[in-house]
Chains A and B, each alone.
Chain A
Amino acid sequence: MTELIQKIIEQFPVVVGSLNEGFLQTLKLFAITLIGALPLGLLISFCSKSSFAPLRAVTRFVIWIVRGSPLMLQLLIIFYGPGLMGFPVWGGGQSGRFWASAVAFILNYACYFSEIFRSGIEGVPKGQQEAGQVLGMTRGQIFVNVTLMQMIKRIVPPMSNEIITLVKDTSLARVIALQELIWNAEAFTTTSHGISGAIWPLFFTGVYYLLFNGLLTLLLGRLEKKLSYFQV
Chain B
Amino acid sequence: MAFLEINHLEKHFGSTRVLEDISFTLEKGQVLAIIGSSGSGKTTLLRCLNFLETPDQGSITLDGKVLFDANDPATRAKQEIRKKRLHFGLVFQSFNLFPQYTALKNVMLAKELLKKESPDYKENRKAIQEEIRAEAEGLLERMGLSDRMSNYPQQLSGGQQQRVAIARALALSPDILCFDEPTSALDPELTGEVLKVIRGLKGSDSTMIVVTHEMEFARHVSDKVIFMADGVIEEMGTPEQVFDNPQSEKTRQFLNKSREEY
Q: In whole angstroms, what is the CA distance A102 to B154 when docked? A: 42
- Identify which of B51, B82, B88, B169 gathers the most chain A CB atoms within 10 Å of its CB: B82
A102 to chain B, nearest CB (A): 33
Q: In whole angstroms, what is the CA distance A137 to B51 when docked? A: 13
In this assembly, does A230 line the interface, its C-beta being within 8 Å of a C-beta of chain B? yes
A135:B96 contact, CB within 8 angstroms: no
Chain A residues within 8 Å of chain B by Cβ, number: 22
Are A127 and B100 CB-contacts (below 8 A) given A133-B52, A135-B110, A145-B109? no
Q: In whole angstroms, what is the CA distance A141 to B89 when docked? A: 18
Chain B residues within 8 Å of chain A by Cβ, number: 27
Determine the chain A residues whose CB is within 8 A of the CB of B153 once the complex forms. 230
B154:A136 contact, CB within 8 angstroms: no
B154:A230 contact, CB within 8 angstroms: yes
In this assembly, does B192 line the interface, its C-beta being within 8 Å of a C-beta of chain A? no
Provide the B95-111 mask, 1 if CB < 8 A to any CB of A, else 0. Answer: 01111100000000110
- Identify which of A128, A136, A150, A230 gathers the most chain B CB atoms within 10 Å of its CB: A136
- Identify which of B50, B88, B96 gathers the most chain A CB atoms within 10 Å of its CB: B96
A127:B96 contact, CB within 8 angstroms: yes
Determine the chain A residues whose CB is within 8 A of the CB of B85 once the complex forms. 133-136
B218 to chain A, nearest CB (A): 23
B52:A130 contact, CB within 8 angstroms: yes
A105 to chain B, nearest CB (A): 31
In this assembly, does A229 line the interface, its C-beta being within 8 Å of a C-beta of chain B? yes
Q: In whole angstroms, what is the CA distance A138 to B86 when docked? A: 12
A38 to chain B, nearest CB (A): 20
Starting from the known contacts A131-B98, A141-B113, A232-B99, 15 additional A-B residue pairs (CB-CB under 8 Å) come to: A127-B96, A133-B51, A133-B85, A134-B52, A134-B85, A134-B169, A135-B109, A135-B110, A135-B168, A135-B172, A150-B99, A150-B100, A153-B100, A230-B100, A230-B153
Question: Interface residues, chain A, CB within 8 Å of chain B?
Answer: 125, 127-128, 130-138, 141, 145-146, 149-150, 153, 229-232
